[in-house]
Amino acid sequence: VHISELSAEMAELGNYRHFMQKEIHEQPRALADTLENVLAQDSLQANIFGVQAESILSGIESVYIIACGTSFHAAMVARYWIESIAGIPCSAEVASEYRYRDSVPNPKALIVTISQSGETADTLAALEHAKMLGHAHSLTICNVPESALIRQSELSFLTRAGPEIGVASTKAFTTQLVALFLLAITLGKLRNKVSREQELLHMQALRELPNKIQQILKLEPEVIKWAESFANKQHALFLGRGQHYPIAMEGALKLKEISYIHAEAYPAGELKHGPLALVDKEMPVIAIAPNDTLIEKLKSNLQEVRARGGELYVFADQDAHISSEPGVQVIRLPGLGGYLSPILHTIPLQLLSYHAALQKGTDVDKPRNLAKSVTVE
Amino acid sequence: VHISELSAEMAELGNYRHFMQKEIHEQPRALADTLENVLAQDSLQANIFGVQAESILSGIESVYIIACGTSFHAAMVARYWIESIAGIPCSAEVASEYRYRDSVPNPKALIVTISQSGETADTLAALEHAKMLGHAHSLTICNVPESALIRQSELSFLTRAGPEIGVASTKAFTTQLVALFLLAITLGKLRNKVSREQELLHMQALRELPNKIQQILKLEPEVIKWAESFANKQHALFLGRGQHYPIAMEGALKLKEISYIHAEAYPAGELKHGPLALVDKEMPVIAIAPNDTLIEKLKSNLQEVRARGGELYVFADQDAHISSEPGVQVIRLPGLGGYLSPILHTIPLQLLSYHAALQKGTDVDKPRNLAKSVTVE
């Protein structure tokens, strides 16, 4: 049995060496599948979240998103989107924190849970806790139909990433982000914060997303070169601001999980409040910085650590004016992402961690001590 | 001039080797001074925050705390206190994040800023941004009278920590926490969430605080032993839950700032969602875990990394049933902290970073690339 399972897995892998690599490359398809029914209409329908979605979502006053690990990073991006696009106050909290503290419930808040498996123990317990406190409305974003979170939530959105085998989440994350973006637009429409014109622009951006990601995947050879210089490092510092700060966190988590490099993320503005002391040639700084102003600030912050060998690696977009120079390396993503920029910037970070792990020879799909779904506390 | 300044500084230092050490040991005094006028009354007076405080604080619907670095950690603890004690929704955000994103203003929110110097550039800009968005009410907690934040805020509380010379903040942080605790009780009283009996218990706990900290400072020899085993590490993982999670963050930041050890903090429940893969003999795990249940969970989580040499260092309280065993070391704090437990647990973490830095021979009071007050972006 074991042998035939292996063979089945090998067959599934096709030309890929690992499931993680396969799943990274499947993202254009996973996103297109997740969006297929949604974009088949000529406007976004609230009922993609359930038949009662329109009436429930019209009445909510705030959004509270609860998740763990990678899903929590999706929650953090969604907070920026929901406040900016829908003008609704939004908080994101780690499930194990929420369930064990005294919080102030608001029956008019929407509790949103996110989990690839829909079975994450802390997230399930947090949802139960929220209901016990009097929260009436819940929505979940999962990748597994009939999962516990879907059964226990009033509304739901099923991502169509397909089975995710690699322990380090990739396509589940980007499809979660798309689902959350749809939620932000839907909430914005219901509150008249999103005009018909804006809605059409958002829909167009979503239609172009799979193809944009396909273009970004072509950066793999450039990312491999960076991975080669990373694999021998013990540390890395990831910086981002705004909607890209959670992506810096996700990039750091990926590197931790599979390459065992101690990568940590900070909001870029906090660099001078502590972590700058750590930067030297053993701790490269990776900036997710589509914005020129931020890059300039980072360059000036890092000026003083150049003497200690501090190196800056920047993921910029096509309009950024930065170019590589001693101590600063740049990979430029094609196109401009707008609100979807966090999704685009996720891709090279996934590739970076994957190739760093390959260099180190770790067990990419099954990193030590981590389980695919954390179904116990 | 340079020589005489040095002599003046040396004289001020007394028997201490560094200002940081002196400032750690000054905390019982700094806290007593900060509380002196407050506790001279037989009840907590809202006017400790300003003459209009009672009317302003009675009308607010939520609290939004904005700060950078160590002050942000104080903000995070305050969020737990304000939601738990006053039953008012509270958010904490890094100033450089808040000022650059689209947020949803609420004119009935109280904007709270925290800064030792009262001159932190991002925090000042964030306050200005909040006002521009229509926020009418602001309160600041600073250690420097007549500072820009005090001038630009409607209400204020001046901590009486005295001048803080060491770049790594110690006594400013614990006095900020006390000020924020006073704010939580005051808000709770104004909303009838804090009974007269509870108020008296809180005031009693505050009266006992300086002496409790004096007792905890006596743990220094035990902490020095831990510091000796830490100084040769490259990494450390700090874990906490609830009101102790920000203290884990503060402990990690201190170690980063002055000993250049790459310490990172996680909410304890997130360990299995990634960082557990990193733990080995080079990455000790420090848990701020007064609660037995949490300790048991951590021990079971870490069981599997014992084979890789993973070591757990626990700060527990006197009622915890944990004792040292192979792979697990325990320092027990005298007494029980209740809501003030985060303040008590800060002290040994300050001592740990100080003595780790001493072992490494770094410039404790002036760590590389960091400024005492970050008055530029």
H or E stretch covering B229: helix B220-230
| CB contact at 8 A, B223 and B345 | no
Beta-bridge partner residues of A300: none
Helix, strand, coil share of chain B (percent; to 5): 55, 15, 30
Question: Taking 70 as the threshold, does the pLDDT of residue A3 lie above it?
Answer: no
Give residue A226's pLDDT: 95
Overall average pLDDT of the A70-77 stretch: 98
Give residue B300's pLDDT: 79
Q: Chain A closest CA to B37's CA: distance in Å?
A: 30
**A184 backbone dihedrals φ, ψ, rounded to 5°:** -60, -45
Written as one letter, the residue type at B47 is: N
Q: Please state, in angstroms and rounded to a whole number, the distance separating the CA atoms of residues A176 and A178.
A: 5
Q: Chain A closest CA to B226's CA: distance in Å?
A: 21
Assess B274–A contact: CB distance below 8 Å, yes or no: yes
Assess B256–A contact: CB distance below 8 Å, yes or no: yes
| CB contact at 8 A, B374 and B121 | yes
The number of C-alpha atoms within 13 Å of A157 and in the hemisphere containing its C-beta is 29
Structure tokens at B321: 């049933």
**Average confidence score pLDDT of chain B:** 93
Structure tokens at A182: 């749809």
Taking contacts as CB-CB distances below 8 angstroms, the residues of chain A near B172 are: none
* Residue B279 pLDDT level (bands cut at 50, 70, 90): very high
For residue B359, the tally of other CB atoms under 10 A from its CB is 16
Give residue A8's pLDDT: 59
Q: Please state, in angstroms and rounded to a whole number, the distance separating the CA atoms of residues A78 and A183.
A: 9
Question: Taking 80 as the threshold, does the pLDDT of residue A7 lie above it?
Answer: no
Burial class of residue A280 (count of CB atoms within 10 Å of its CB; 0-12, 13-18, 19+): middle
Give residue B364's pLDDT: 87
* Residue A128 pLDDT level (bands cut at 50, 70, 90): very high
Burial class of residue A146 (count of CB atoms within 10 Å of its CB; 0-12, 13-18, 19+): exposed
Q: In this predicted structure, which of A147-161, A196-210, A294-308, B234-248 has the lowest mean pLDDT?
A: A294-308
Taking contacts as CB-CB distances below 8 angstroms, the residues of chain A near B368 are: 277, 308
CA angle B52, B56, B58 (to 5 degrees): 120
Give residue B350's pLDDT: 98
Mind listing the pLDDT tens digit for each residue in A81-115?
999 999 999 999 999 999 999 999 999 999 999 99
For residue A13, the tally of other CB atoms under 10 A from its CB is 15
DSSP codes joined into one string, B180-227: HHHHHHHHHHHTT-S-HHHHHHHHHHHHHHHHHHHHHHTTHHHHHHHH
Taking alpha carbons only, the member of A94, A325, A237 closest to residue B256 is A237
Identity of the highest mean pLDDT range in A273-287, B170-184, B278-292: B170-184
Question: Taking 50 as the threshold, does the pLDDT of residue B44 lie above it?
Answer: yes
Angle between helices A171-190 and A341-360 (to 10 degrees): 170
Q: Chain B closest CA to A270's CA: distance in Å?
A: 7
* DSSP type of residue B82: I
Written as one letter, the residue type at A375 is: T
Compute the count of residue pairs across chains A and B with CB atoms less than 8 Å apart.
Answer: 161
Share of chain B above pLDDT 90, in %: 79
DSSP codes joined into one string, B121-179: HHHHHHHHHHHHTT--EEEEEESSTT-HHHHH-SEEEE-------SSS-SHHHHHHHHH
Taking contacts as CB-CB distances below 8 angstroms, the residues of chain A near B304 are: 369
* DSSP type of residue A233: -
Give me the residue from B89, B96, B278 closest to A262, CB to CB: B278
Mutate to test the interface with B, among A272, A294, A339 (most CBs of B within 10 A): A272
SS3 B57: helix
Q: Please state, in angstroms and rounded to a whole number, the distance separating the CA atoms of residues A134 and A189.
A: 27
> Which are the contacts of B7, defined by CB distance < 8 A and separation ≥ 6?
none
* Residue A11 pLDDT level (bands cut at 50, 70, 90): low
H or E stretch covering A297: helix A292-303
Q: Please state, in angstroms and rounded to a whole number, the distance separating the CA atoms of residues A258 and B240.
A: 24
Overall average pLDDT of the B36-47 stretch: 95
Q: Please state, in angstroms and rounded to a whole number, the distance separating the CA atoms of residues B50 and B56.
A: 10
Question: Taking 70 as the threshold, does the pLDDT of residue B319 lie above it?
Answer: yes
CB contact under 8 A, A270 and B87: no
Assess B279–A contact: CB distance below 8 Å, yes or no: yes
- State the ipTM, two decimals: 0.94
Q: Please state, in angstroms and rounded to a whole number, the distance separating the CA atoms of residues A315 and A331.
A: 5
Mind listing the pLDDT tens digit for each residue in B360-369?
998 888 888 8
Taking alpha carbons only, the member of A296, A236, A304, A295 closest to residue A265 is A236
CB contact under 8 A, A377 and B297: yes
The number of C-alpha atoms within 13 Å of B268 and in the hemisphere containing its C-beta is 31
Overall average pLDDT of the A311-336 stretch: 87
Q: Chain A closest CA to B90's CA: distance in Å?
A: 9
Question: Taking 60 as the threshold, does the pLDDT of residue A372 lie above it?
Answer: yes
Q: In this predicted structure, which of A287-296, B201-210, B227-236 has the lowest mean pLDDT?
A: A287-296
**pTM attached to this predicted model:** 0.95
Dihedral, CA of residue B320, residue B323, residue B324 and residue B329, to nearest 10? 0
Q: Please state, in angstroms and rounded to a whole number, the distance separating the CA atoms of residues A148 and B63.
A: 35
| Nearest residue on chain B to A86, alpha-carbon basis | B104
Mind listing the pLDDT tens digit for each residue in A222-273?
999 999 998 899 999 999 999 999 999 999 999 999 999 999 999 999 999 9
**Average confidence score pLDDT of chain A:** 93
Label the pairing between strands A285-288 and A235-240.
parallel
Q: Kindly tell me the sign of the dihedral angle through the C-alpha atoms of A93, A99, A100, A101.
A: positive
Question: Taking 70 as the threshold, does the pLDDT of residue A187 lie above it?
Answer: yes
For residue A260, give Cα distances in angstroms to B13, B115, B283: 43, 36, 11
Share of chain B above pLDDT 70, in %: 97
Assess B136–A contact: CB distance below 8 Å, yes or no: no
Question: Taking 50 as the threshold, does the pLDDT of residue B2 lie above it?
Answer: no
Q: Please state, in angstroms and rounded to a whole number, the distance separating the CA atoms of residues B121 and B118.
A: 9
Mind listing the pLDDT tens digit for each residue in B118-142?
999 999 999 999 999 999 999 999 9
| CB contact at 8 A, A262 and A288 | no
Give residue B322's pLDDT: 81
Overall average pLDDT of the B48-52 stretch: 97
Q: Please state, in angstroms and rounded to a whole number, the distance separating the CA atoms of residues B84 and B88.
A: 8
Q: Looking up tokens 């032993």, which residue turns up?
A: B225
Taking alpha carbons only, the member of B84, B104, B143 closest to residue B93 is B104
In angstroms, how far is the first alpha carbon of chain A from the final one?
31
Q: Please state, in angstroms and rounded to a whole number, the distance separating the CA atoms of residues A308 and A19.
A: 38
Assess A253–B contact: CB distance below 8 Å, yes or no: yes
SS3 B76: helix
Assess B16–A contact: CB distance below 8 Å, yes or no: no
Mind listing the pLDDT tens digit for each residue in A140-166?
999 999 999 999 999 999 999 999 999
Structure tokens at A278: 């750590």
H or E stretch covering B73: helix B69-81
Question: Taking 80 as the threshold, does the pLDDT of residue A9 lie above it?
Answer: no
Mind listing the pLDDT tens digit for each residue in B73-101?
999 999 999 999 999 999 999 999 999 99
Share of chain A above pLDDT 70, in %: 97
Overall average pLDDT of the B247-274 stretch: 95
Taking contacts as CB-CB distances below 8 angstroms, the residues of chain B near A68 are: 269-270, 273
Mind listing the pLDDT tens digit for each residue in B338-349?
999 999 999 999
Q: Any idea how long chain B is?
A: 377
* Residue B291 pLDDT level (bands cut at 50, 70, 90): confident
Q: Kindly tell me the sign of the dihedral angle through the C-alpha atoms of A311, A313, A316, A319.
A: positive
* Residue B52 pLDDT level (bands cut at 50, 70, 90): very high
CA angle B358, B256, A308 (to 5 degrees): 90
* Residue A2 pLDDT level (bands cut at 50, 70, 90): very low
Q: Please state, in angstroms and rounded to a whole number, the distance separating the CA atoms of residues A221 and A218.
A: 7
Structure tokens at B218: 């006596």
Assess B80–A contact: CB distance below 8 Å, yes or no: yes
Please identify among residues 89-108 of chain A the ones whose CB lies closer than 8 Å to any CB of chain B.
89-91, 94-97, 100-104, 106
Give residue A306's pLDDT: 81
| CB contact at 8 A, A272 and B256 | no
Q: Please state, in angstroms and rounded to a whole number, the distance separating the CA atoms of residues A179 and B370.
A: 41
H or E stretch covering A247: helix A245-259
Give residue B3's pLDDT: 47
